[in-house]
Structure 1
Amino acid sequence: MSPPDYLERILTARVYDVAVETGLDAMPNLASRIGNRVLLKREDMQPVFTYKLRGAYNKLAKLPQAARDRGVITASAGNHAQGVAMSAQRLGCRAVIVMPATTPSIKINGVKRRGAEVVLHGDSYSDAYAHAVKLVEETGMTYVAPFDDPDVIAGQGTVGMEILRQHPDAIEAIFVPVGGGGLAAGLGAYVKRLRPEIKIIGVEPVDSDAMRRSIEAGHRVVLEHVGLFADGVAVKQVGEETFRLCREVLDEIITVDTDAMCAAIKDVFEDTRSILEPSGALSLAGLKAWAEREGVQDKTLIAIASGANMNFDRLRHVAERAEIGEAREAILAVTIPEQPGSFRSFCELLGSRAVTEFNYRAADPAEAHIFVGVKISTRKEAADLVALLNERGLKAVDLTDNEMAKLHIRHLVGGRAPQVEHELVYRFEFPERPGALLNFLTQMGRGWNISLFHYRNHGADFGRVLVGMQVPPSDEAAFQRFLAELGYDYTDERDNPAYRLFLG
């Protein structure tokens, strides 16, 4: 079946018994930054918070009644599962969903609430699929493919139908997330039939790029491993039919990393106050990367917000990585002389740049190694800063793209320092505003050596700093006067068991 044959399938798809026509919302903040009109197709606003409901219901609605009476079974990383569960509930048939054990609980609970039976198996969609096939053989239930089925593809294709109806004016490109390829195949088949001048660009994570590799190889490949951050597209092998269609309708596939997806989640929040899951923001991350690469201006670019089923606790990681993904934070390792005043001199070199993180623990009598985060506006600014520091005799290394540094080292800087004598450890809070950290260090400039320093900007009204200072007993009275004059809230942490066990 060739792509044009999908036009009738999409036009006659049964999706609106349960699905809604979602909005095509402008993103003015992002548009002003990248110089193009950016529109977001809000599939996160579906009843199950994902477009997957379209294909699932179209498939179930077109099954013979006898097949529905036997019940349906599917394998899914979560979003298709919720679509099948809701569809089965509406049509009154039994549904069994095999999901990877790594599926976020919010998706598992969403499936259970709609009356479906959940079976957890394996670490990826492919593992779950193999188990679902086995259950089909054992039970005789009808398998509902998450992407490699003409009725499912046609259901997803209604997203493209709505876009062209909602925006009949010129469109430069539509960016589509790609996992198994159902949405890209259906949307692409429809749009290319009616508006072939519109570019259809698939977007995959760098560590789950089965479609890109398959198209390059000329046949479907099987990935040995897939990244699980964007669990909604964590597919080891794309579908046979979706591969055939995507080869014909996709103009290209672009890949993005975790930081870029986190930055895109933040972009959506800033423009809509909505929070997408990683795979839901995947196409927007690709849109931004493509626009920067191509240097396009004043064009209309559309991204699919494909899902919003994310566990709340994952937001900690998203917030941590978003600034790096947007090139708004640089992570540096800087070596400075181990002597009073070095911290302050270093901060003065940073100029007006805001410090987002500052980690240090005394270890060497001659040199201090600092782990520091700095607000930047471009990657070039980070390179220029590193060059400036090295020029001033402070050895600096850019760790912004270093995964070990971002995931682990930033949380591990520290340790015991038995060589440090007369150490006092205090935790301070001070109003968080531009220049606050430098002001804090300036007020501390009394000649006492800093042996420990930890600061991280948490976006709150108050900055929180843990500081170790070497204060001889003879200076204790002067130190107490310093605390009184400082005017900041503080806590003496010398008796804290965490300090005694890990830092003292």
Structure 2
Amino acid sequence: MNTTEISPREYLRRMRSSAVYNVAVRSPLDLCPVLSRRLGNRVLLKREDQQPVFSFKLRGAYNMMARLDASALEQGVVAASAGNHAQGVALAAQHLGAHAVIVVPRTAPEIKQEAIRRLGAELVLHGDSYDEAYAHARQLERERGLTFVHPYDHPDVIAGQGTVGLEIDEQHSGRIDAVFVPVGGGGLVAGVALALKQLRPDVKIVGVEPEDSDALHRSLAADERITLERVGLFADGVAVRTPGEETFRIARDWVDAVEVVSNDAICAAVKEIFEDRRAVLEPAGALAYAGLRSYAERLGLREHTLIAIASGANLNFDRLRTIAERAQIGEQHEAVLAVTIPERPGAFRQLCGALGDRSVTEFNYRMGNADEAAVFVGIQVRDSAERAALIDQLSEGGYASLDLTDDEIAKTHVRHMVGGRCAAATNERVFHFDFPERTGALAEFLDRLHGAWNISLFHYRNHGAERGRVLCGIQVPPETNAAFNDFLAEVGYGFTEQTDSQVLRLFLGR
């Protein structure tokens, strides 16, 4: 994409002349008193979750489509998305009288598919991932003469998203110290940075990414676009493997920093925003506030004015279970530990005494061997300092403990499987797979599994995402390791090997 001729001033002109308000609203900029008191700063949320499609995405989609000539609109547009961008394109097409084709993976939840149909777009199901849907959309673009509406990497899309920055400038007349923007492909952060930095040069623009989808953070550090081998699925609205070409060019010059946060911190952000605004955001929608909180606490900020963009609220209801489960950890109010106790009567009671008057939030145990047992325990704490003090206290009391608070495998799988030891599981290798959430995914996996390999462990739990997280143990005779590695490369599902995980050895080992 050769767009270097578009100057910052030209971008600002396009934002100011945008017709996005034919479909979008000027979203509120809400003061958050609860969050402000909690952080000791003036915290405001830019409420893009209150747009007609519950996301900022319709701004960029409409701005690009409104600038197409009549013949292109008459021919129609195509987009690839299973979420907010799809609904933005569909609504824009409905308003402009254009035909829209939206390609989504077959794994897209029915609620999202129905939202696209309701807006009058032609829905095409293709593939199990966004990459497959994207490739098919580009094929339809060529075959049917459609115009492809990119979710982020197009100047008119960037300019449309930049109107969020113009509104922030208009809505807050006082000093703004920093604005926090969620980052996927980078269209929103590029547009907001171009708008605000030209109008208020002193304001800091901070992008925010999940630690398992931090493509822009790594790209800026390397001073070149980095493509991640895999991206996390929890904050699916920002699960992008590489930043856009134009968005990266802009971010390199106009974005001051990128804050990287954990999925637990995102869950805590969803909860805290609900407590203040009674709004339930999707994980990507709460990402910017998670970054604001992390940034303010890390730098010890006080009495600053900090703004986070609440970018969307298209949440699958089933995901609330996971968010609620992980929020306390994200707030650093729960410690998750593996504690080794002697296998004898009264040992449980003695451990409870060693924990003092702290509240136990979870306790999982099953007899392992005759001498000692590993207990999976959750304990309520005030902060990370108390968690460290607790571990020291247990050590002084003679209890060996392993801190699992930041161990994704422990929190997603092992806590539900304590006691699953099996002496017969020889030659066992353990993997964490990402299965597409569709009928037949497991059957396809099993059909490809060689007869010499036996499944010895399996744990799956639905998290309301488009990909299911599966922990799977497979008995692989040593002489077949090479063939098994070939199977892994060909099966088509993302995976990481966890055979040597310490928490698996404690609770699920032979």
User: One-letter code of the match for 2:180?
Assistant: F
Q: Return the offset for 1:155.
A: 1.0
Aligned partner of 1:132 in structure 2 is 137
- Residue 372 of structure 1 is aligned with which of 361, 371, 377? 377
- Residue 32 of structure 1 is aligned with which of 30, 37, 60? 37
| 1:83-482 correspondence runs (5 A) | 83-414=88-419
In 2, the alpha carbon distance for the partners of 1:102 and 1:226 equals 16
- Where does structure 2 lack aligned partners over 5 or more consecutive residues? 1-5, 423-510
In 2, the alpha carbon distance for the partners of 1:285 and 1:104 equals 25
User: One-letter code of the match for 1:197?
Assistant: D
In structure 2, do the counterparts of structure 1 residues 244 and 269 end up closer, same or farther at CA, with 3 Å as the change threshold? same
In structure 2, do the counterparts of structure 1 residues 124 and 208 end up closer, same or farther at CA, with 3 Å as the change threshold? farther
| Structure 1 stretch displaced more, 367-376 or 219-228 | 219-228
| Structure 1 stretch displaced more, 35-44 or 331-340 | 331-340
Q: Return the offset for 1:376.
A: 0.7
Give the TM-score, by structure 1 length. 0.80
Q: Is the 1:371–1:410 Cα contact (8 Å) retained in structure 2?
A: yes
Q: Return the offset for 1:173.
A: 0.4
Q: Is the 1:4–1:190 Cα contact (8 Å) retained in structure 2?
A: no
Aligned partner of 2:84 in structure 1 is 79
Aligned partner of 1:474 in structure 2 is none
Q: Return the offset for 1:237.
A: 2.4
User: One-letter code of the match for 2:283?
Assistant: P
Aligned partner of 1:483 in structure 2 is none
Give me the identity figure in percent. 60
In 2, the alpha carbon distance for the partners of 1:249 and 1:123 equals 35
Give the TM-score, by structure 2 length. 0.79
User: One-letter code of the match for 2:348?
Assistant: F
Q: Return the offset for 1:123.
A: 4.7
User: One-letter code of the match for 1:380?
Assistant: A
User: One-letter code of the match for 1:385?
Assistant: L
In 2, the alpha carbon distance for the partners of 1:222 and 1:394 equals 43
How many corresponding residue pairs?
Answer: 418
Q: Is the 1:328–1:377 Cα contact (8 Å) retained in structure 2?
A: yes
User: For 2:20, what is the secondary structure of its paired residue?
Assistant: coil
User: For 2:364, what is the secondary structure of its paired residue?
Assistant: strand
User: One-letter code of the match for 1:81?
Assistant: A
User: One-letter code of the match for 1:14?
Assistant: A
User: One-letter code of the match for 2:54?
Assistant: F
Q: Deviation per CA, 1:88-131, whole angstroms, max 9, x where unpaired?
A: 11111110012234444332221111111222334544433222
In 2, the alpha carbon distance for the partners of 1:391 and 1:103 equals 51
Q: Is the 1:332–1:371 Cα contact (8 Å) retained in structure 2?
A: yes
Q: Deviation per CA, 1:231-265, whole angstroms, max 9, x where unpaired?
A: 11111222222111111110011211211111111
Q: Return the offset for 1:415.
A: 5.1
Q: Is the 1:35–1:297 Cα contact (8 Å) retained in structure 2?
A: yes
User: For 1:357, what is the secondary structure of its paired residue?
Assistant: strand
In 1, the alpha carbon distance for the partners of 2:405 and 2:267 equals 15
In structure 2, do the counterparts of structure 1 residues 128 and 221 end up closer, same or farther at CA, with 3 Å as the change threshold? farther
Q: Return the offset for 1:345.
A: 2.6
**Pair 1:69-2:70 in alignment:** no
In 2, the alpha carbon distance for the partners of 1:201 and 1:50 equals 20
User: One-letter code of the match for 1:341?
Assistant: G
Q: Is the 1:77–1:231 Cα contact (8 Å) retained in structure 2?
A: no
| Structure 1 stretch displaced more, 264-273 or 45-54 | 264-273
| Structure 1 stretch displaced more, 207-216 or 35-44 | 207-216
Q: Is the 1:27–1:39 Cα contact (8 Å) retained in structure 2?
A: yes
Aligned partner of 1:473 in structure 2 is none
User: For 2:21, what is the secondary structure of its paired residue?
Assistant: coil
Aligned partner of 1:12 in structure 2 is 17
Q: Is the 1:146–1:152 Cα contact (8 Å) retained in structure 2?
A: yes
Q: Is the 1:263–1:321 Cα contact (8 Å) retained in structure 2?
A: yes
Q: Is the 1:103–1:231 Cα contact (8 Å) retained in structure 2?
A: no
Higher Rg: 1
Q: Return the offset for 1:4.
A: 2.2
Q: Is the 2:82–2:113 Cα contact (8 Å) retained in structure 1?
A: no
Aligned partner of 1:493 in structure 2 is none
In 1, the alpha carbon distance for the partners of 2:90 and 2:315 equals 18
Runs of 4+ in 1 over 6 A off after TM superposition: none
In 1, the alpha carbon distance for the partners of 2:175 and 2:128 equals 42
User: One-letter code of the match for 2:207?
Assistant: G
In 1, the alpha carbon distance for the partners of 2:261 and 2:368 equals 38
In 2, the alpha carbon distance for the partners of 1:166 and 1:304 equals 13
In 2, the alpha carbon distance for the partners of 1:333 and 1:223 equals 32
In structure 2, do the counterparts of structure 1 residues 65 and 416 end up closer, same or farther at CA, with 3 Å as the change threshold? closer
In structure 2, do the counterparts of structure 1 residues 174 and 292 end up closer, same or farther at CA, with 3 Å as the change threshold? same
In 2, the alpha carbon distance for the partners of 1:237 and 1:105 equals 27
- Where does structure 1 lack aligned partners over 5 or more consecutive residues? 418-504
Aligned partner of 2:26 in structure 1 is 21
In 1, the alpha carbon distance for the partners of 2:312 and 2:165 equals 16
Q: Return the offset for 1:358.
A: 0.9
User: One-letter code of the match for 1:267?
Assistant: E
Q: Is the 1:157–1:186 Cα contact (8 Å) retained in structure 2?
A: yes
In 2, the alpha carbon distance for the partners of 1:164 and 1:218 equals 29
Q: Return the offset for 1:326.
A: 1.1
In 2, the alpha carbon distance for the partners of 1:177 and 1:393 equals 45
Q: Return the offset for 1:222.
A: 2.4
Give the RMSD, CA atoms, in angstroms. 1.8
